[in-house]
Amino acid sequence: MCDELTGGGEFDFIERLRRRELARVTKAKHSSLTTHHSSLIRGIGDDAAVFRQRAGFDTVITADMLVEGVDFRLEAGWSSPRDLGHKALAVSLSDVAAMGARARFCLMSVGVPRALWRGGFADEFYRGVRALAARHDVRVIGGDTSRTPDAVVVDSIVLGEVRRGRALTRGGARPGDQIFVTGALGGAAAGLKVLERAGVGNRRPGSRRGVSASAPTVSLTRAERGLVRRQTRPLPRVEWGALLCERGLASALIDLSDGLSSDLAHVCRESGVGARVEASLLPLDPLLAASGVNAEEALKLALDGGEDFELLFTAGPRKASRLPREVEGVPVTRVGEVTGERGKVRLVGGGRARLLRPGGFEHFGRA
Interaction residues for its own copies, span 241-270 (CB under 8 A): 253-255, 257-258, 262, 270
Residues listed for the chain: 367
Helix (H/G/I), strand (E/B), else coil: 340: coil
Q: Which of 145, 231, 271, 314 binds its own copies (CB under 8 A)?
A: 145
Question: What gap in Å lies between CA 123 and CA 16, rounded to an integer?
Answer: 10
Q: Which of 75, 95, 285, 308 binds its own copies (CB under 8 A)?
A: 95
Q: Minimum CB separation from its own copies for residue 100, in Å?
A: 10
Taking CB under 8 A as the rule, does residue 90 contact its own copies? no
Footprint on residues 273-312 left by its own copies (CB under 8 A)? 306
Taking CB under 8 A as the rule, does residue 151 contact its own copies? yes
Give the x/- contact pattern for its own copies in 110-129, rule: CB under 8 A. xx------------------
Question: What gap in Å lies between CA 298 and CA 303, rounded to an integer?
Answer: 9
Footprint on residues 187-226 left by its own copies (CB under 8 A)? 204-206
- Going by C-beta distance under 8 Å and a sequence separation of 6 or more, which residues neighbour residue 197? 218
Closest alpha carbon to 180 in 61, 325, 3, 73:
325
Give the x/- contact pattern for its own copies in 41-80, rule: CB under 8 A. xx--xxxxxxxxx-x--xxxxxxxxxxxxxx---------
- Exposure string (b/e) for 355-364, b if CB count within 10 Å is 16 or more? ebbbeeeeee
Q: Minimum CB separation from its own copies for residue 295, in Å?
A: 26
* Cα 69 from chain centre: 18
* Cα 204 from chain centre: 25
Judge whether 251 and 244 are in contact, CB under 8 Å: no
Question: What gap in Å lies between CA 226 and CA 288, rounded to an integer?
Answer: 10
Taking CB under 8 A as the rule, does residue 27 contact its own copies? no
Q: Which stretch binds its own copies (CB under 8 A): 152-160, 182-190, 329-337, 344-352?
A: 152-160
Binders of its own copies: how many residues, by CB under 8 A? 77
Q: Minimum CB separation from its own copies for residue 331, in Å?
A: 22
Cα dihedral across residues 65, 255, 131, 284: positive or negative: positive
Q: Minimum CB separation from its own copies for residue 18, in Å?
A: 11
Question: What gap in Å lies between CA 159 and CA 171, rounded to an integer?
Answer: 21
Judge whether 274 and 342 are in contact, CB under 8 Å: yes
Q: Minimum CB separation from its own copies for residue 87, in Å?
A: 10
Q: Minimum CB separation from its own copies for residue 309, in Å?
A: 11
Footprint on residues 316-355 left by its own copies (CB under 8 A)? none
Q: Which of 27, 36, 164, 342 binds its own copies (CB under 8 A)?
A: 164
Of 99 and 264, the one with the shorter C-beta distance to its own copies is 99
